[in-house]
Amino acid sequence: MPLSPFERTLAALDALHAQDPRHASVEGESVPHELWHAGRMSAWLERLHEHPDELVQLAVRGQHLQRWELSRSEYPEGRVGYLTWRRDQGQRAGETTARLMREAGYDDEDAEAVSRMIRKQGLGREAGTQAVEDCACLVFLENYFADFSRQIDHDHLIRIVQMTWKKMSPRAHELALTLPMTDQARALVEEALAG
């Protein structure tokens, strides 16, 4: 039986994720970092939404696509440099995911809808875009926050948590509060939310 456009696109995305030269150790096994990250994004989507449609699933899976190809160090330090890098990453990931979708048999409308979600257009108004943002925030809080909190000064970190929280849906807030955290990380989150 031939693969569906959804299955073909998912396989193409994961083939690109698997090219990441960076690796993560998962249960003693070395896995391409981006492939692992995409899997965590999809796992959070399953917890956020009981039956997400396939376009949202593809947007969530493609959100971090080929990030290693455009280094953060190629952009200026500071918030403007970070936001420009993030915008360019979203543009590249959206375009590549849309191209893979068209090659797999999706029409232009569906491909562009997924690209918009990946670029975070309509955040707070579009359910698909909100799902992508929620998953990204939850992956950050689950896997990167503890290390990040040791590298950033206290006040800056509080602002980052507050900005992250503002972008999340109420359901994502509920899930975030169930995450296992060190006492130090939880105290930071509680301080940020009280402010």
Instruction: Give the mean model confidence (pLDDT) for residues 142-153.
Output: 84
Q: How confident is the model at residue 51 (pLDDT cuts 50, 70, 90)?
A: very high
Can you list the alpha helix ranges (DSSP code H) found in the chain?
A: 5-17, 33-48, 54-62, 79-104, 108-118, 127-143, 145-149, 154-167, 170-176, 183-194
Q: Looking at residue 1, what is its pLDDT?
A: 83
Handedness of CA 143, 162, 129, 64 (dihedral sign): negative
- pLDDT bucket at 34, cuts 50 / 70 / 90: very high
Q: What is the mean pLDDT of residues 74-84?
A: 92
Average pLDDT, whole number, for the chain? Answer: 93
| 34 within 8 A of 67, measured Cβ to Cβ | yes
Q: What is the pLDDT of residue 152?
A: 84
97 vs 195 pLDDT, higher one = 97
Torsion region of 124: left, alpha or beta (phi above 0 gives left; psi -120 to 50 gives alpha):
left
Instruction: Give the Cα separation of 192 and 163 in Å (integer).
Output: 9
Pairing of strands 29-32, 23-26: antiparallel
Predicted local confidence at residue 184, as pLDDT = 82
Please give the share of the chain, as a percent, with pLDDT higher than 70.
Answer: 99
pLDDT value, residue 149: 78
Q: How many CA atoms lie within 13 A of 56 on its CB side?
A: 21
Quote the pLDDT of residue 187. Answer: 86
Residue 159 has pLDDT above 80, yes or no: yes
pLDDT at 85 over 80: yes
Q: What mean pLDDT is predicted for residues 128-139?
A: 96
Give the pLDDT confidence score for residue 193 in this predicted structure: 87
* Nearest Cα to Cα of residue 182 among 174, 190, 172: 190
Structure tokens, 141: 């809080």
Chain center to CA of 22 = 17
Answer yes or no: is pLDDT of 13 > 90: yes
| Structure confidence at residue 79 (pLDDT) | 86
- Identify the CA nearest to 12 among candidates 142, 133, 114: 114
pLDDT at 65 over 90: yes
pLDDT tens-place string over residues 97-131: 999 999 999 999 999 999 999 999 999 899 999 99
